[in-house]
Amino acid sequence: MKNVLDILKERGLFEDCTNPEVGEVLSKPGVVYAGFDPTSDSLQAGNLVTILVLSHFQRCGHRVVALVGGATGMIGDPSGKTSERTLLTPEQVEKNLEGIRENLSRFLDFAHPTAPAQILNNHDWLGGFTFLDFLRDVGKHFRMGTMLGRESVRARLASESGMSFTEFSYALLQGYDFLHLFDSEGCRFQVGGSDQWGNITAGTELVRKLRSEEVYGITTPLVCDSAGQKFGKSEGNAVYLDPRKTSPYDFYQFFFRTTDADVVRFLKIFTFLTIDAIAELEQTVREAPEKREAQRRLAEDVTRTVHGEAGLQVALRASEVLFGGSIEGLSAADLAAIFADVPSVELTRGDVVGSPAIDVAAAAGLCQSKGAARRLVQSGGLYLNNVRVAGIETTVQPDDLVDGEVAVLRSGKKNFHLVKVLGDA
């Protein structure tokens, strides 16, 4: 089996390490961890980089620990931030922790016969410290000069907003996490984005001072697209792993819209396709870019990984709907996501159910008048839920409303209107 470090390097998932000997140490199975602070009740597409790195470690025989920050999440990591985070309440943190545990459970193998994954919460050990105990037992081992020299601290201290003592202390908490996991789990490796370098080295230094042992940090590049946009953002909106926040259709489309300049790199980072298979897809990008085969494979693989085969099929059916395919199996939420950018109208249930389809088309604004709607039906050009309206006498039935809430009207091939029905079913 290949050394996991070699895999990370060939897939563009390696940026730096705290010790050049890490590759040799990784030739034997060990324990590795990565942290996830509960700033939201769902992880985002950008978090996939760290999650997939953990998965590569597990596939190479290492035991992985996903650490959710029940304690550190109440402070907020200042790394990469220009201003202080809004502090979360304990109730918000707990709610977010539940969502993140669910997200992580989709990617890591907790039933692995030799190296089962774990999810731990750092509130279990940090929550028991008193302020005085933490200063005596942990704080005394950190030097101000080193902490002030960190790039993330210097940038914030030089900014107009400055940096609070609360944020300044964050690295101590994460450093102690590494020490605790070394003691309790035998953990010798921590992985994280390159913006985590200062926090990671805080842990390696603390273990070295208190245990006289060498532990290792490995960082991954911060993934941006070719335009410099931080990965995981779509037109200013975060792309979440929770299907209630980002539908499988929108998730699929986010990856399908990947540019030719980015798609090969993203295939290496976000999928488990072999390097040879990716090379073949790279050839299609050069020879037939209009087919977007690489983008389709990227979107399919990542959507399947995140949302399962059922989620992928929903996304594919949703895509087909835009080309006249059946809406069967799609929910009202799916349709709202698919048709988020088309005209929509809210009508009462009484104005829709039992009414002639031509009246609803006129009321929805798809047609300028009932007469225009009648002529459209007679020419075979009016569709309800992508099914051609057979005649001017056709009425909208309760079963035509998806989840009792929405219906899709279409004229021609591409002119869609979404009808949102108000009132009880």
What pLDDT, in 10s, does the model give residues 18-74? 999 999 999 999 999 999 988 889 999 989 999 999 999 999 999 999 999 888 888
Task: Check: CB of residue 396 under 8 Å from CB of residue 407.
Answer: yes
Is 330 a domain residue?
Answer: no
Across residues 160-176, what is the average pLDDT? 88
Query: Is the model's pLDDT at 82 over the cut of 70?
Result: no
Q: Say whether both 381 and 264 belong to one domain.
A: no
Q: Say whether both 266 and 290 belong to one domain.
A: yes
Domain C-terminal end among 196, 220, 244: 220
* Helix ranges (DSSP H) in 224-321: 248-256, 260-270, 275-287, 293-321
CATH number for position 53: 3.40.50.620
What does the pLDDT read at residue 85? 62
- Domain extent, residue 264, equals 233-321
Compute the C-alpha angle 48/50/52, nearest 5°.
65
Is 226 a domain residue?
Answer: no
* Helix ranges (DSSP H) in 60-195: 90-105, 123-126, 131-137, 144-148, 151-158, 165-168, 170-185
The Cα 371–Cα 36 span in angstroms is 59
Task: Check: CB of residue 210 under 8 Å from CB of residue 140.
Answer: no
Is 332 a domain residue?
Answer: no
Q: Say whether both 71 and 181 belong to one domain.
A: yes
What does the pLDDT read at residue 122? 93
What does the pLDDT read at residue 9? 97
Query: Is the model's pLDDT at 81 over the cut of 80?
Result: no
Q: Say whether both 268 and 154 belong to one domain.
A: no
What does the pLDDT read at residue 150? 81
pLDDT for 210-222, tens place per residue? 999 999 999 999 9
Q: Which of 100-114, 235-249, 325-339, 350-364 has the highest mean pLDDT?
A: 350-364
Across residues 268-274, what is the average pLDDT? 97
Count of CB atoms within 10 A of residue 182's CB? 22
* Range of lowest pLDDT (56-70, 107-121, 227-241): 227-241
Is 329 a domain residue?
Answer: no
Q: What mean pLDDT is reported for the chain? A: 91
Q: Say whether both 311 and 400 belong to one domain.
A: no
Domain C-terminal end among 265, 292, 321: 321
Q: Say whether both 316 and 341 belong to one domain.
A: no
Across residues 212-236, what is the average pLDDT? 84
| Phi/psi at 191 (5° precision) | -120, 150
Q: What does 321-387 look like in DSSP terms, one character per residue?
A: HTTT---TT--HHHHHHHTTTS-EEEEEHHHHTTSBHHHHHHHTTSSSSHHHHHHHHHTT-EEETTE
What does the pLDDT read at residue 80? 63
Q: For residue 308, what pLDDT band results from cuts at 50, 70 and 90?
A: very high
pLDDT for 277-287, tens place per residue? 999 999 999 99
Q: Say whether both 208 and 249 belong to one domain.
A: no
Q: Say whether both 57 and 148 belong to one domain.
A: yes
Q: Say whether both 213 and 237 belong to one domain.
A: no
Residue listed under structure tokens 């245990």: 211
Is 328 a domain residue?
Answer: no
Query: Is the model's pLDDT at 203 over the cut of 90?
Result: yes
Report the DSSP beta bridge partners of residue 121: 68
What does the pLDDT read at residue 322? 83
Domain total of the chain: 3
pLDDT for 363-391, tens place per residue? 999 999 999 999 999 999 999 999 999 99
